[in-house]
Each structure stands twice: as structure tokens, then as C-alpha cells.
Chain A
Amino acid sequence: MKVLVAVKRVVDYNVKVRVKADNSGVDLANVKMSMNPFCEIAVEEAVRLKEKGVASEIVVVSVGPATAQEQLRTALALGADRAILVEAADELNSLAVAKALKAVVDKEQPQLVILGKQAIDSDNNQTGQMLAALTGYAQGTFASKVEVAGDKLNVTREIDGGLQTVSLNLPAIVTTDLRLNEPRYASLPNIMKAKKKPLETVTPDALGVSLASTNKTLKVEAPAARSAGIKVKSVAELVEKLKNEAKVI
């Protein structure tokens, strides 16, 4: 089967971001950018499906700025066969991304689309579900295990009380949780080979997609700072402080 994987370029997860002085957003100038960790897990899962002989071709797609080509090349180095960049402004809303991905799904006709469960910048946790709605496909969100069972897909999902397993008709949409797999590193030879793999660039206009949104960000502020408290010397002092000063026990 053909597998489509969506990846996003985001600020590296180790970076402590700073809010811009004019409250227009977060300062991303000269900040290290990487592939969203949940998207790495999505790419890894697709590559494993190919290694098992389940997937025949892996197409990786990103909706974002021209610089997202770097993340697509990373995905190609990890084992994807070809890449598509839907070149658009940064900081799109989830619905616009889902609409662009829907257009790519219509064109590519994959049997399975894998996305991360959320991007660590916007923390929306929406795109996979929205793509499932637009395509009419079933969704297996927050997946910690994915198994192809004939013409169906069994997905074990991380839910609030534990785990849940659902069976989905193919084609289907899956979003990855952290426990799905441990992504591999790209080797240098694979990074070199990835440079020769095809990367196609399209515009939302060419796909006939409108990026209009019903959401507007009015301002972005730093959260209320929490200041460091005190260090206690002993367990006895800790218990005394909790009882008499903080009054929480």
C-alpha cells in the first residue's frame, strides 16, 4: 500500500522560546528548527511498514515555508521515497493544513496517512482529525500500536484511563503518540542519497486550496513567571513548611 506521511518544521523541542517584545508572537529568528518529534515517529512507522513489506511507497509531505525542504530531506534520508512541499506561509491554522493535505490525498490516493498527534509549537492536536473529517476516512488518533489486518487496520490508542484498540477500514488516518516507536537516526550515506530523491513543490493555489481561517491570534504573551522558592535542609523542615507556611497538608 501507499503511505503518506505529513511532517512539520517546528522550533527544536529543547529550545526555551521567548515571546517577542511587541507581543506579536514567539521569536523564531536564529532559533534551531527541527522536524516535530511526533512527525519523526510517523516517518519511522511508515519506514517500518515498508520494511515489513506492507507499504510499497512512502510519500512525505509538508505544508509550510520553503525552508521545510530541510525536514523533507530528513524524512527522505530516514527512508521515505519522495517528497511534496506545499509551499505556503508559516503559522497556518490546522484546518488550512488539513485542506492542503486533503488535496494531496486526492491526488496521491494513499491507503494510509500517518501524522503526528500534535505539533509542539501550536499544541493544537487537530490536523489529523480534520483531515479524517475532510476525506471521510476513519481515524486512529494517539496510536501506540498499528497493525494491518487484511483490509483493516488495528490501532491501539492511548486514552485517559489506559489503552483502547479500534479496527479501522482502509484507507485510514493515524496520528502517532510517543510510545509508537523509537525513531532511527539518518546515516550519512542515506543523507547523501536523500539529496537525489525527488522533491516536488506545489502551491496551495495550484491545489485549489484556500488558506483562509476563522481564527485570529490577537496577541502572544509570556506566561506569569513562577519564581524559585526556598531550599529546605531536611525532611523535617519540609514537613514543617508544608504544614505551617503553605498549609497544604
Chain B
Amino acid sequence: MTVLVVAEYQAGAIAPATLNTVAAAAKIGGDVHVLVAGQNVGGVAESAAKIAGVAKVLVADNAAYAHVLPENVAPLIVELAKGYSHVLAPATSNGKNILPRVAALLDVDQISEIISVESADTFKRPIYAGNAIATMQSSAAVKVITVRATGFDAVAAEGGSASVEVVAAVHDAGRSSFLGEELAKSDRPELTGAKVVVSGGRGMGNGDNFKHLYSLADKLGAAVGASRAAVDAGFVPNDMQVGQTGKIVAPQLYIAVGISGAIQHLAGMKDSKVIVAINKDEEAPIFQVADYGLVADLFEAVPELQELL
């Protein structure tokens, strides 16, 4: 039994979600191999080889794999998958984009966003916005799985010494091309990996008021998130959305400011260790999951909180 993990990377560095996915692979058992597909990814492959518990790194470095277009990368993974019992990828936007295409080409069902490994063929995953947990068993010859990063503790990024092997195969379907991207720039920690997250909702009133949350976040070394209401109202960009259809976070401390706590938002943050809610509506559903609730006007409470820290 050997598990293939499809690596996620950003700006030439291994993404933290890859480390959580390797942890899930280690729970399944057997050797863990990591695939790095892209263009000019030699540096990524070298850092992948240092991940604790990885036996081998496969590098597919070709212009066809630039920006990991699924039409080109999925056939590559399918070709490699025949030698593996499991193919895993983090449930990031790339993982979610590519892996179901791989599963269908292999004629197997995928299991999405697992939060635990029960055995080599049995996994748990949330359904209905996290309001139920399903235990799923796969009889597929190659089990194709995406991993919810917050469900597994990351393995060490250093300490491994895997061999690096070049994959020569080039698949270029010629059906799609990359035109451009617009990435949000931030000095704050990445939302899904942050230890502290401060999130704002509709109660923030406008985008300008998010500056209160940014300065609070900077004091706490926190990332800033948002509810769908805040994103849809145009206060902040969509990549800050926490929830069923946004990002899933499980920090040590989650501070929800002006967020009512709809089912869809709770789905993205209710596994946080400590939840704090600041809301002027004492009936807001967020108080039903908050460890510490403060019924107050956020425009008074947030500056005061910042001062006391």
C-alpha cells in the first residue's frame, strides 16, 4: 500500500495544507509519496523532500502543468495513480478542482473533505454544512480523497530526506489556458493556518470599518476573515469568506464580530478551540456556540479590546 499526495504550493513554497494531508496519508499507512506538478517547481520539490514521513517526491515540471490546469494535470495523476492504493489532495481550491476529474477518469467515486481516517478504506466527513458526520467506506481500487486540513495536525516540514524522481510524462489536452490572476496581498498570516482569527460580518456596516478588525488582528498576530454577508455586501474580497462555501478554519481563538451565526458560517468555524462573539443582538445564534459572548456595540468594544491587549 502506497499513498500519493498531490502537493499544494504557493509562490514557490509548499503550502501548509500539504503537511496536514501528509499527516492523513500517514494515518492510512504504507509509504507516502508526494507529487509536485507545475512549471519551475524544482524548489518546491526540494522542500517537499524534507517533509517528515515522505519516502519519495515525484516532480512533473513542464509548461503544460503551469497554474495546474485540471485538463492537463488530471491525466498525469491518472497515469501515476495506477501504482497507488490512495490518491490524496488537500481540499483547497486546486485540490477540489482537480481530484474529482481524476476520480471520474479512474471510474471511482471520490470521498471529499475527510476529517478522520478510521481505517485504510473508511473515513469520516461532514455533510449538510457540518450538521451531520458521515462514515464512508470506499471499495475503489484506487481511493481518491480530499483532506480537510483542519481535521489533521500538520507533520513537520523539516526532518525528512525523500528521494526526488522526475516524471517525464507530458499531458497537454489543449482545451484550456491561463489568462491571469488577481491575488489579494496581505502581511497577515494565512487564514486557514492562523492561530487566531478575527472575523467581521454585516454588523461592520461598510468596508472601511474593517480597519478596526485589521488593527485588532495585527495586535493579536491574527488573520482576518468575514461572513458571506460581509463579502456579498462588498466590504471585503471573497477569499476572506469563512463558511460552508468559503474557507474552513479551526484556530485556537476565533473572534466573531457583528456576525449573527448562520448555519453556513458556523460550518466553517465551529471546530475552533475558543470562540468569542461580540454582537449587540443578544438573541444572535452565534452566542449558542460562543465560549465567551459579549453583548455590546462592536464600535465601542473592538477599540476597547485593542487597548486592553
Contacts and interface: CB of A to CB of B under 8 A. Distances in A.
Contact of B308 (A131, A157, A239): A239
Give the bracket for the number of chain B residues in contact with chain A.
35 or more
Interface in A50-102: 93-95, 98
B233 to A, nearest CB: 12
Given A218-B135, A231-B287, A129 B104 contact: yes
Nearest to A141: B97
A127 B96 CA distance: 11
B52 interface: no
A229 to B, nearest CB: 4
B308 A236 contact: yes
Most central of B176, B244, B247 by chain A CB within 10 Å: B176
A236 B291 CA distance: 16
B182 A163 contact: yes
Given A228-B288, A239-B309, A129 B137 contact: no
A29 B184 CA distance: 44
B178 A133 contact: no
B293 interface: yes
A163 B94 CA distance: 12
Contact of B270 (A128, A226, A242): A226
A166 B182 CA distance: 12
A229 B238 contact: no
B202 interface: no
Interface in A106-150: 117-118, 120-134, 136-139, 141-142, 144
Nearest to A158: B238
Interface stretch (B19-27, B29-37, B106-114): B106-114
A29 to B, nearest CB: 15
A133 B175 CA distance: 12
Given A159-B93, A164-B67, A242-B276, A133 B294 contact: no
Contact of B178 (A118, A123, A164): A164
A129 B176 contact: no
A159 B136 contact: no
Interface in A198-249: 213-223, 226, 228-232, 234-236, 238-239, 241-242, 246, 248-249
B126 interface: yes
Interface stretch (A1-9, A11-19, A189-197): A11-19
A40 interface: no
Contact of A249 (B136, B253, B288, B290): B253
Given A139-B70, A214-B109, A228-B287, A162 B183 contact: yes
A34 interface: no
A125 B67 contact: no
B132 A215 contact: no
Contacts of B192: 160
Nearest to B288: A228
Interface in B7-22: 10
Given A94-B109, A161-B10, A166 B104 contact: no
Nearest to A163: B182
Interface in B164-196: 173-184, 192, 196
Interface of A: 11, 13-14, 16-17, 19, 26, 38, 93-95, 98, 117-118, 120-134, 136-139, 141-142, 144, 154, 157-169, 172, 177-179, 213-223, 226, 228-232, 234-236, 238-239, 241-242, 246, 248-249
Q: Across chains A and B, which 10 residue pairs bring their CB atoms closest together, nearest first?
A: A229-B291, A129-B100, A133-B104, A130-B104, A126-B100, A214-B140, A138-B175, A138-B176, A162-B183, A248-B253
Interface of B: 10, 67, 69-71, 74, 92-94, 96-105, 107-113, 122, 126-140, 173-184, 192, 196, 220, 228, 231-232, 237-239, 244-245, 247, 252-253, 263-264, 270, 273-276, 282, 287-296, 301, 304-305, 308-309
